[in-house]
Amino acid sequence: MTDTERAIRLMARCDALAVFSDEPGRITRAYGTPALREAQEAVAGWMREAGMDVRRDAVGNLIGRYEGEQPEAPAFLIGGHLDSVRDAGRYDGILGVLAGVAVVERLHAAERRLPFVVEVVAFADEEGLRFHSTYLGSRALAGTLDEETLSLTDDNGVTFGEAIQNFGGDPAAIESARRDPAEFLGFVEPHIEQGPNLEERDLPVGVVDAIVGGSRAEITVEGEAGHAGTVSMARRRDALCAAAELVLAIEGVGRSDPAMVATVGQFEVAPGASNVIPGEVRLTLDLRHPADEPRLRAENQLRELVAEIGARRGVLATWHEVQGYVSTRCDPGLTDRLAAAVSTCGVEPHRLPSGAGHDAVALADLLPVAMLFVRCAGGISHNPAESVDVADVAVACNVLDALVGDLVQSC
């Protein structure tokens, strides 16, 4: 099978999985649903065809294991997730799982055993669609799921614990999903970029150096509503004008560092009548950077700006902190090896941060993680328009082959 044929098959499998959905007419696969189970069964079949032993752990992650030369060998982990957001595309998460299967398939076809095990993992919940909490699958493997998480409820009042049970898992034995770091050489997560950088540089793949950390806040601006015709400009305390100044200040802070992104995504104005001066605005801030220090510095700068704009304009501007998350640096050693594998395949090993979170974040405390980004059209993701190129998928699989080859050399 040529590289291109392998990539075509991988993409055909993505198409095949797209039919398993919780909702007719679009792709939605939440944790524990029949659609997720069907997707797992299809993937389990392909894993078995590739010579893997397949099992599901206590939380319902699907794990294929391609044994090494010796039974006690450590494992190299490749993977992604099979759950999705609502109205999703067909590659986010899935590409990582199927690329892992593709690598093992080629080893199996060559009847080749390695000095280490190759495990392919399909996490059961990364997006957090059902329980509004991300990385549930990978956190089970990392051993960071606590009792509180098991008590999370979905919109129908079903707890995560109950859902695990219904999905054929075992909430009481959730600890058994936890893996010993000593079992692993590392984890590589192939994933669509979800951004436009590779496309802009005309590169099929890229090497992730860090997964951004984020600050989040909800900011309220309280001014004074009034008649649009009778209150002079000088006497106004217009909440919208103050908030508009804030939006531009946030944009300015975002632009001050090429690695930073700052977004006001929600912005609600009250009372919202054309002839009434706005009395109140509620807006959200989403601030991300691959390094924590510049992000926290920017956050502090914005906190001061909120206070300054509020004071100058005579409005009450309040910063309500929403829990943020620290950045994750990919493992330097494994990432260098991944970059070398990219070079081996004749591609410039461009390094870039991931602006979105991934299972690698949850596993980074447990074992060395690396991420390979695959170019996606227009940077579009979480959307039916998600699109990747066969040629790029072929390159990604070849890079993984090369990485595995390199790991063999150093064993």
Q: Closest distance between a second copy and the C-beta of residue 240, in Å?
A: 6
Q: Are 312 and 370 in contact (CB under 8 A)?
A: no
- Residue 368 CA, chain-centre distance (Å), reads 17
Binds a second copy by CB under 8 A, chosen from 2, 148, 202, 235: 235
In the complex, what is the shortest distance from the CB of residue 165 to a second copy, in angstroms, rounded to a whole number? 31
Residues 388 and 89: their CA atoms lie apart, in Å, by 11
Quote the CA–CA distance of 46 and 67 in Å, as a whole number.
Answer: 16
d(CA 151, CA 145): 11
Query: Does 275 help bind a second copy (rule: CB under 8 A)?
Result: yes
Nearest residue (CB) to a second copy, 114 versus 352: 352
User: 335 or 381: whose CB is closer to a second copy?
Assistant: 381
Cis amide linkage into residue 271, ω under 30° from 0: yes
The answer to the question of residue 25 lying near a second copy (CB under 8 A) is: no
Q: How far apart are CA 314 and CA 239, in angstroms?
A: 10
Does 261 participate in binding a second copy (rule CB under 8 A)?
Answer: yes
Query: Is position 277 an interface residue for a second copy (rule: CB under 8 A)?
Result: yes
Kindly indicate which of the ranges 12-20, 30-38, 48-56, 256-264 contains the residues binding a second copy, using the contact rule CB under 8 A: 256-264
CB of 357 to a second copy, least distance (A): 8
Binding-site member from 69, 175, 251, 304 for a second copy (CB under 8 A): 251
Helix (H, G, I), strand (E, B) or coil at 260: coil
The Cα 246–Cα 261 span in angstroms is 15
Is 172 or 248 the residue whose CB approaches a second copy more closely? 248
Structure-token pair, residue 333: 């050693």
CB-nearer residue toward a second copy: 229 or 346: 229
Residue type, 245: E
Q: Does 266 bind a second copy (CB under 8 A)?
A: yes
Residue 117 binding a second copy, by CB under 8 A: no
Distances (CA, A) of 303 to 21, 118, 285: 43, 47, 11
Stretch that binds a second copy, among 14-22, 48-56, 111-119, 191-199 (CB under 8 A): 191-199
Reading the block at residue 76, the tokens are: 């190299």
Determine if 408 is a binding residue for a second copy (CB under 8 A): no
Q: Which of 5, 23, 268, 348 binds a second copy (CB under 8 A)?
A: 268
Distance CA 286, CA 299 (A): 10
Which part of the chain contacts a second copy (CB under 8 A), choosing from 51-59, 113-121, 131-139, 264-272? 264-272
Q: Interface residues for a second copy in 331-390 (CB under 8 A)?
A: 354-357, 379, 381-382
The set of residues, in sequence order, having a beta carbon less than 8 Å from that of 411 and lying 6+ positions away, is: 114, 115, 116
Among 113, 216, 297, 351, binds a second copy (CB under 8 A): 216
Q: What size, in residues, is the chain?
A: 411
Contact call for residue 227 and a second copy (CB under 8 A) = yes
Residue from 28, 41, 269 nearest 167 by CA: 41
The residue within the footprint of a second copy, chosen from 107, 152, 158, 244 (CB under 8 A), is 244
318 binds a second copy (CB under 8 A): no
To which H or E segment does residue 191 belong?
strand 184-192
Q: Is residue 247 at the binding interface for a second copy, with CB under 8 A as the rule?
A: yes
d(CA 257, CA 246): 18
- Asked if 231 touches a second copy (CB under 8 A), the answer is yes
- Quickly list DSSP for 352-384: EEESS--HHHHHTTTS-EEEEEE--GGG--SST
Name the residues that contact a second copy, by CB under 8 A.
193-197, 200, 212, 214, 216, 226-235, 238, 240-241, 243-245, 247-248, 251, 254-255, 258, 260-269, 272-278, 284, 286, 288, 354-357, 379, 381-382
